[in-house]
Amino acid sequence: MITYDAIVVGSGITGGWAAKELTEKGLRTLMIERGRDVVHRKDYITEHKPSWELPLRDARLSVGTKGAEDYPIQARTGQFRESNKHFFIKDSKNPYVEDKPFTWIQGDQVGGKSLIWGRQVYRWSDLDFEANLRDGHGVDWPIRYADIAPWYSYVERFIGVSGEKLGLAQLPDGEFQPPMEMNAGEKLVKTGVERAFPGRHVTIGRVAILTQPLNGRQPCHYCGPCERGCSTGSYFSTQASTLPAARATQRLTVLPNSIVHSLIYDAGKNRVTGVRVVDAVTKQFREYHARVVFLCASTLATTRLLLNSTSPRFPHGLANSSGVLGHYLMDHHFQAGAGGSIEGLLDHYYQGNRPNGIYIPRFRNVGDDASRRSDYVRGFGYQGGASRQGWGRGGGERGFGVELKRTLHDPGQWSMGMTGFGECLPREDNYVELSDQKDEFGIPLLKIHCTWGDNELAMRKDMAASAAEMLEAAGCKNVRTHDAYRGSGQLGAEPGFAIHEMGTARMGRDPKTSVLNGYNQAHDVPNLFVTDGACMASSSCVNPSITYMALTARACDHAVEELKRGNL
């Protein structure tokens, strides 16, 4: 029997944080990862590769194309390309069941999705933590902004976040490195929007990418495609940030290619005592034991694992005396917004591939009468950016030959686009369960039931209309709205597509209606912690990862204190 102080399941954004915090606090920790090992720098096999060295010139591998045969789900996203497909999970070996379309994008390696994430980081505010209590959707969060604020600071100082302070109550400022610069088109739109709509702000994205050196990591060199991996460690990933810190303690063991089948529960002690692991290569089972277990496997993988861990005490899944495990699945709804062209500014250009865009913080339902909507609750923010058209525009226009080549020698006109990211309400009928089918390791497949509700659909109309209204006010021409949603049951802005899936093992004050307490600790099983997106009781409208990180660091602190007190 192999025993550790702590087991962390998963090595992505939260798994890396849990490993770092627990090892630094003195715990001998085993971090278990389903996928292969990815070594910082060495395994970034397409980093800085010029386009002509990629045989398909970095083609997007869409559904049905050769090269995407094993990835029918991952290929739904535009991010899935020739240059980064090795950082996405192989759907053919990791199937799940969709009741209606739910696109589940997953990493399958040490580092998880931290290698390919969007890197946008925004703090929640009390507008978010009090939302469920105020409008009655979902259960009240057991924490408030004051509980997590110092942990946001702690995380930001370690991962490095560049951004601009705005002093907004609904989007608290953080510990920022200098912001990246806006380009001329964005500055024009910013000026126009802020003049026409007092109280709205156009700011550069707050992003976990360095603009100054930090802990041996170098500032961004603006090569562009972060998701190929970054040898200078300029964006936050497990490999660049938390893994080296955890390794430096010499208390970390990393176990790749190891799928956690289920948790081992001791009813006499009412504790988890370890995990059952299947070797992805040999398919042999092993057990590992520890005093405390952190689940950081990603929202749905964590819940699948809990559902598959049954016992006479917990016949419907471990720590599920409430019966809410698997329910209240959320994602952000997006791909509703507008775009337009900007006239002039033809002697303005930019240099460098800035892996970041602009952000417009939420301005609907922010607490005052003026911002209150009668047609929906909660709100949305926008992400977008301006750029000059490139050579690709030639494919949409008549003409060829010397004249076309001469035209494409220069950049085209400016255009500006933005898409909303909207909050999703927690609803009981959006849920996951175990299906009758099993994967090659004998683990039941997850079956996902999730659709957008009336509140999301009403909000989307405003997301598109308000974007167009702001672009028009800023003087943009040819303004067109867009909404990729094609109806329930259709592909197109379907749930999961924002890759912000969360909920299904929510935090709450009452053990009868929630799985986790205010420290991400299972109400039912004191030495079990869940700190990935599964813990979320509502979704806010901002990108969630930094909140997961802060909750993880806070939960680790609590767990170690409780261990010292002998309570676990």
Binding residues vs another protein (CB under 8 A) = 41-42, 44-45, 47-53, 55-59, 61, 64-67, 180-184, 186-187, 218, 220-224, 231-232, 346-354, 388, 390-392, 394-402, 404-406, 408-411
Q: C-alpha angle 542/547/552, rounded to 5°?
A: 160
Integer Cα distance of 511 and 534 in angstroms: 16
Which residues on adjacent β-strands are paired with residue 449? 431
- The smaller minimum CB distance to another protein, of residues 224 and 323, is found at 224
Rounded to a whole number of angstroms, the minimum distance from the CB of residue 220 to another protein is: 7
- The smaller minimum CB distance to another protein, of residues 90 and 187, is found at 187
- The smaller minimum CB distance to another protein, of residues 184 and 458, is found at 184
Contact 165, 361 (CB under 8 A): no
Contacts of 71 (CB under 8 A, 6+ apart): 61, 80, 85, 88, 89, 90, 91, 92
| Alpha carbon distances (Å) from 415 to 76, 340, 411, 480 | 25, 6, 11, 12
Rounded to a whole number of angstroms, the minimum distance from the CB of residue 470 to another protein is: 20
Rounded to a whole number of angstroms, the minimum distance from the CB of residue 357 to another protein is: 12
The pair of structure tokens assigned to 479 is 């303004």
- The smaller minimum CB distance to another protein, of residues 144 and 187, is found at 187
The pair of structure tokens assigned to 560 is 């170690």
Rounded to a whole number of angstroms, the minimum distance from the CB of residue 361 to another protein is: 20
Strand-strand pairing, 203-204 and 2-9: unpaired
Rounded to a whole number of angstroms, the minimum distance from the CB of residue 103 to another protein is: 20
Residue that has been written with the tokens 């949305």 in this structure? 380
Rounded to a whole number of angstroms, the minimum distance from the CB of residue 408 to another protein is: 7
H/E stretch holding 417 reads: strand 414-422
Integer Cα distance of 149 and 128 in angstroms: 13
Rounded to a whole number of angstroms, the minimum distance from the CB of residue 89 to another protein is: 21
Rounded to a whole number of angstroms, the minimum distance from the CB of residue 474 to another protein is: 17
- The smaller minimum CB distance to another protein, of residues 343 and 397, is found at 397
Task: Give first-to-last CA distance, the chain, whole Å.
Answer: 20
Integer Cα distance of 545 and 396 in angstroms: 38
Question: How would you class 130 by CB atoms within 10 Å of its CB: exposed for 0-12, middle for 13-18, buried for 19 or more?
Answer: middle
Integer Cα distance of 296 and 551 in angstroms: 11
Put residue 176 in one of left, alpha, beta given phi > 0 → left and psi -120 to 50 → alpha: beta
Chain centroid to CA 345: how far? Answer: 35
Put residue 153 in one of left, alpha, beta given phi > 0 → left and psi -120 to 50 → alpha: alpha
- The smaller minimum CB distance to another protein, of residues 370 and 400, is found at 400
Residue 497, helix vs strand vs coil = coil
Integer Cα distance of 228 and 293 in angstroms: 31
- The smaller minimum CB distance to another protein, of residues 42 and 565, is found at 42
- The smaller minimum CB distance to another protein, of residues 220 and 498, is found at 220
Residue that has been written with the tokens 């009452």 in this structure? 510
Rounded to a whole number of angstroms, the minimum distance from the CB of residue 342 to another protein is: 13
- The smaller minimum CB distance to another protein, of residues 250 and 351, is found at 351
Contact 23, 4 (CB under 8 A): no
Rounded to a whole number of angstroms, the minimum distance from the CB of residue 352 to another protein is: 4
- The smaller minimum CB distance to another protein, of residues 46 and 262, is found at 46
The pair of structure tokens assigned to 330 is 């959320």
Contact 463, 445 (CB under 8 A): no
Contact 504, 326 (CB under 8 A): yes
Rounded to a whole number of angstroms, the minimum distance from the CB of residue 83 to another protein is: 12
Rounded to a whole number of angstroms, the minimum distance from the CB of residue 239 to another protein is: 14
Contact 23, 29 (CB under 8 A): yes
Contacts of 408 (CB under 8 A, 6+ apart): 391, 393, 394
- The smaller minimum CB distance to another protein, of residues 218 and 311, is found at 218
Rounded to a whole number of angstroms, the minimum distance from the CB of residue 41 to another protein is: 6
- The smaller minimum CB distance to another protein, of residues 315 and 401, is found at 401
- The smaller minimum CB distance to another protein, of residues 191 and 437, is found at 191
Rounded to a whole number of angstroms, the minimum distance from the CB of residue 98 to another protein is: 22
- The smaller minimum CB distance to another protein, of residues 204 and 418, is found at 204
**Strands lying side by side in the sheet with 203-204:** 203-204, 358-360, 380-388, 414-422, 333-342, 477-483
Strand-strand pairing, 2-9 and 252-255: unpaired
